Amino acid sequence: MKKLFDYTGRNVIAYYSGFLTKSINGMEVNDEDKNAFMLCINELERDKGLDLILHTPGGDSQATLSLVDYLRSMFGADMRAIVPQIAMSAGTMIACSCRSIVMGKHSSLGPVDPQFGHIAAANLLSEVRRARDEILADHRNALFWNPILSRITPSFIERCELAVADSNEFLEATLRENMLSDLKGAEQDSTVEKIKEVFANNIGKAHNTHIPAKQCAALGLKIEELEADQTFQDLVLTIHHCYMHTLANTAAFKITENHLGRALVKQQASQVVEVPMSQLVPFEMPSGSPPPSQGSEMLSPPPLPTKEPRAERPRAARVGSG
């Protein structure tokens, strides 16, 4: 990371989640992450901008909005997102708030539509609208839709509508303020609408849809090709593989770190398994061994069974030539 800073002259912060190899609460974007970014931003020269390396499945939308607001207050519009592999959902929202996004041919962004557990808010609202249209067209369709609609409360539908509205408004506002600020009038409007149609998931795709760099650029996002600068690519991918190796082979599940080596690492707590005393067998010390300290008891598993020696059998005669 220090070499990347020396090469670009820009501050570097890496934000990595181990979601590809672990499933632990806290790996997603949440309000606690702001403390990690406060730690990493302290003492940085903010006039040098920020290169933010992202690898995350997403997370809480309101925590993301608050985090983006904080980053913008520190570095203004001079932020660049680097996505070596995946920045989905809330990670895409962070990336779209930057001036540009560096992506490789293997990199992906994803839809930013809100989720309630495993329920996609946009998909649920789309299903409710479909049910309404089909029932109005033919009342006999109510026999099919009533059991489904009866499981949805009116308050939940309203929550979905508000969450989708917040997400869409943020995406549009942040694009207009930074990445697409050099576009004016109708050109900016049409570009924002094309991006929103795909990333706000108005086209009804799955929430985990991977949107590659080529499609992101075609929609109008400012995409810088990672492969355009071989030295830069080598530095970024070396950092990426170091983090992936660490997250896969240690107890760490989330790392936020800057190029000065200041970091906050979240680690999975070790679990202690209690074994009932009835399963432990007392162990007798061999003669001549020093006695154990007072109040202690030597325990060991039961001795392995011994085998009786087998009687030697006569070898069978070989049949055939040789």
Question: How does pLDDT run across 101-117, given as a tens digit for each residue?
Answer: 999 999 999 998 887 77
Nearest to 89 by CA among 53, 58, 123, 116: 58
C-alpha dihedral, 26 to 96 to 36 to 82, nearest 10°: 100
Contact 25, 55 (CB under 8 A): no
The least confident of 22-26, 175-179, 227-231 is 22-26
| Residue range 203-224: mean pLDDT, rounded | 88
Question: pLDDT > 90: what percent of the chain?
Answer: 62
Name the percent of the chain lying above pLDDT 70: 83
Residues in the chain, total: 322
Phi, psi of 255 (to 5 degrees): -135, 130
- Give the pLDDT confidence score for residue 300 in this predicted structure: 47
Looking at the structure, give the CATH architecture of the domain made up of residues 2-119+151-267: Alpha-Beta Complex (3.90)
3-state secondary structure of 126: helix
Q: Kindly report the pTM of this predicted structure.
A: 0.78
| pLDDT for residue 303 | 55
Question: How many CA atoms does the CB half-sphere of 299 hold within 13 Å?
Answer: 9
